[in-house]
Chain A
């Protein structure tokens, strides 16, 4: 890996020469230069269809009163609490359930389920909601016009709308007023090769280990092995969305 500012000064001097020469080069060059943009020497290879990222959440291990994963998610992505729960962004949320018949109580966390057939992607008029080739469902904020149709369509209520102007966002998660957003499965970490989401890291650190993240297409990954040996469920399985997030003991 060479260092970042590797432009030799000689090359620059040659290139500029005089203002006229530079102007001539500029009028000819743009098309060529544009393509040069994609071959930065430290660029990663990007998402691959060899993987499908997913998560497994064990309802038995999700501890009462714990908010480690939520806090970690908030700090990782710079989600700030403005004291307005109706409009504050929520990417991951704890839910506690009681069975109406049996009284059995479950606790789990809900977030974007990263469906194989995501309704939010179907309804998005501008292709801003999209599914990456490795199964991560994202919002491309460069295209989102803020129509909120995806929020109407999501069966998991996983999405939030940014209701106010923001500043000092996290570099990992640029976000701004008027766009919709949701759990990114810590895609910035995945792209950097770090196989651990912020929520999983926090949950493990707390000693609960209720969240397992991994590659659903790799039969040897922990998540695949656990899914094979345990009975897991999808939330709203009736919709046949084939979610990337699954639950144990629910």
Chain B
């Protein structure tokens, strides 16, 4: 293999770079304005309520955070598992991971009821709370991956690369376990309270993170007028196929378990049959767009060497993943808690026993999209100032 040279990513035309950055900046500005509006007015101006307490911003945030740890996989495969084809992609993998995580965290923080008190979350820890652990896991992730990136970029740090690669790999597994456990540890709601949530989130992160990685990698190389070989993309594509299949397997196991338990028949009916929009999201969003279409594009011989098929498959995985998180976060809350088994509720002062309607508002969406824009802006700036992309990725 010939020697690899890395170079800052310059656009074919500088105008394109600055225009792109300006656009992202505008999206971020709108999102910050939306966050200010929601905080200033209070959350009543959003679609969230006392029934749907976590809304669209959480969907975006969790999606980005889950994808962030997955984006690091390529680097892990390169330096932990010794995959030579993946090694040149390690730097970008780490940069993307940091970018996605920061974007997600910004959304999460700006949707707090009292973001001004964020400092309290750093001075008061309840170690029984998975949220408190996540504060440590998330900030630790950024720190470890930043140092990991340094060891990959600085020859004098080369000797620390492997141990840091290992540390980052275990940390990211812990991080996604922690994120999945946010739901796994909730005994209250029928859709949650399942140990499978933690490993399912880990495998979801593999899938979304890699999809993010592939699509942004292709975009960056088009952007910078650089070459990227089909063979390398095919490798990534095949890996994505495995991950998408694995997610599907976990979804199957989760739903089958629920179907077996009489107590959970209600929630399964809701997701699979008569949950209206949520049923649609499951079958069309998660299963068709997020699993079947990408699997077809990935494994069909007709698209064997098609970059576009790879790009479309990655986008489909991301769309499907978004619906999957939406279904977990919002669907899990929309389905009523069963406080009185065997009884139907004929009168209530607080929406007991009712399926809750949630309509996200523009500010919520603007904040969520801004989080994504923050991620992309960080990655664009990072790739411009650091040597993360190899000059060429020809086979």
CA distance A164 to B42 in the complex (A): 4
Q: Which residues of B contact A53 (CB under 8 A)?
A: none
A98 vs chain B, min Cβ distance (A): 5
B118 within 8 Å of A (CB atoms): yes
Known contacts A86-B51, A163-B42, A163-B43, A110 near B350 by CB under 8 Å? yes
A145 within 8 Å of B (CB atoms): yes
Q: Is A144 touching B114 in the complex (CB atoms < 8 A)? A: yes
The answer, among B50, B128, B342, for a CB contact under 8 Å with A160, is: B50
Known contacts A147-B131, A148-B54, A98 near B337 by CB under 8 Å? no
CA distance A95 to B346 in the complex (A): 8
B231 vs chain A, min Cβ distance (A): 46
B3 vs chain A, min Cβ distance (A): 48
Q: Which residues of B contact A146 (CB under 8 A)?
A: 112-115, 117
Residue on A with the closest CB to B188? Answer: A155
Q: Which residues of A contact B50 (CB under 8 A)?
A: 86-90, 151, 159-161, 163
Q: Which residues of B contact A239 (CB under 8 A)?
A: 187
A99 within 8 Å of B (CB atoms): yes
Q: Is B350 touching A157 in the complex (CB atoms < 8 A)? A: yes
Q: Is B342 touching A178 in the complex (CB atoms < 8 A)? A: no
Known contacts A87-B44, A147-B112, A180-B113, A126 near B51 by CB under 8 Å? no
Q: Which residues of B contact A85 (CB under 8 A)?
A: 351
A100 within 8 Å of B (CB atoms): yes
Interface bits A94-133 vs B (CB < 8 Å: 1, else 0): 1111111100011100100000000101111111100000
Q: Is B121 touching A125 in the complex (CB atoms < 8 A)? A: yes
Q: Which residues of A contact B41 (CB under 8 A)?
A: 164
Q: Is B53 touching A125 in the complex (CB atoms < 8 A)? A: no
The answer, among A96, A101, A154, for a CB contact under 8 Å with B345, is: A96
Q: Number of B interface residues at 8 Å Cβ cutoff, please give it.
A: 48
Q: Is B189 touching A97 in the complex (CB atoms < 8 A)? A: no
CA distance A98 to B333 in the complex (A): 23
CA distance A87 to B124 in the complex (A): 28
A183 within 8 Å of B (CB atoms): no
Q: Is B347 touching A125 in the complex (CB atoms < 8 A)? A: no
Residue on B with the closest CB to A146? Answer: B113
A236 within 8 Å of B (CB atoms): yes
Q: Which residues of A contact B339 (CB under 8 A)?
A: 95, 110, 155-157, 235-236
Q: Is B113 touching A179 in the complex (CB atoms < 8 A)? A: yes
Q: Is B126 touching A127 in the complex (CB atoms < 8 A)? A: yes
Q: Is A178 touching B42 in the complex (CB atoms < 8 A)? A: yes
CA distance A101 to B49 in the complex (A): 33
The answer, among A107, A143, A144, for a CB contact under 8 Å with B113, is: A144
Most buried by A among B118, B131, B345, B349: B349
Interface bits A131-170 vs B (CB < 8 Å: 1, else 0): 0000000000001111111011111110111111100000
Q: Which residues of A contact B337 (CB under 8 A)?
A: 155, 157
The answer, among B185, B343, B345, for a CB contact under 8 Å with A123, is: B185
A225 within 8 Å of B (CB atoms): no
Q: Which residues of B contact A105 (CB under 8 A)?
A: 346
Q: Is the interface of A mostly helix, strand, loop or mixed?
A: loop
A132 vs chain B, min Cβ distance (A): 16
Known contacts A95-B345, A110-B352, A161-B53, A148 near B128 by CB under 8 Å? no
Residue on B with the closest CB to A107? Answer: B347
CB within 8 Å of A: which B340-381 residues: 340, 342-352
A162 vs chain B, min Cβ distance (A): 7
Q: Is B349 touching A90 in the complex (CB atoms < 8 A)? A: yes
Q: Is the interface of B mostly helix, strand, loop or mixed?
A: loop
Q: Which residues of B contact A97 (CB under 8 A)?
A: 340, 343-346
B4 within 8 Å of A (CB atoms): no
CB within 8 Å of A: which B36-52 residues: 39, 41-44, 49-51
CA distance A87 to B345 in the complex (A): 21
CB within 8 Å of A: which B79-121 residues: 112-115, 117-118, 120-121
A213 vs chain B, min Cβ distance (A): 20
Q: Which residues of A contact B128 (CB under 8 A)?
A: 122-123
Q: Is A99 touching B343 in the complex (CB atoms < 8 A)? A: yes
Known contacts A125-B126, A155-B188, A163-B44, A99 near B121 by CB under 8 Å? no
Known contacts A163-B42, A164-B44, A178-B42, A122 near B129 by CB under 8 Å? yes
CA distance A86 to B359 in the complex (A): 12
CA distance A9 to B74 in the complex (A): 75
Residue on B with the closest CB to A65? Answer: B347
Q: Which residues of B contact A107 (CB under 8 A)?
A: 347
A235 vs chain B, min Cβ distance (A): 6
Q: Is B42 touching A126 in the complex (CB atoms < 8 A)? A: no
Q: Which residues of A contact B51 (CB under 8 A)?
A: 86, 157
CA distance A85 to B51 in the complex (A): 10
Q: Is B43 touching A93 in the complex (CB atoms < 8 A)? A: no
Q: Is B340 touching A145 in the complex (CB atoms < 8 A)? A: no
Known contacts A87-B50, A95-B349, A110-B352, A153 near B126 by CB under 8 Å? no
Q: Which residues of B contact A155 (CB under 8 A)?
A: 187-188, 337, 339
The answer, among B53, B124, B340, B347, for a CB contact under 8 Å with A151, is: B53
Q: Which residues of B contact A88 (CB under 8 A)?
A: 50
CA distance A93 to B333 in the complex (A): 19
Question: Sorted from nearest, which 6 A-B pairs have the closest CB atoms?
Answer: A146-B113, A178-B113, A93-B349, A96-B347, A164-B42, A86-B49
Extra pairs beyond A125-B129, A145-B113, A153-B188 (11, CB < 8 Å): A110-B350, A119-B186, A121-B126, A125-B126, A144-B117, A149-B182, A151-B53, A152-B54, A157-B337, A161-B50, A161-B53
Can you list 14 A-B pairs with a CB-CB distance of less than 8 A? Answer: A87-B49, A93-B348, A95-B345, A98-B343, A99-B342, A123-B129, A126-B125, A126-B132, A146-B112, A146-B117, A157-B51, A157-B339, A161-B53, A236-B339
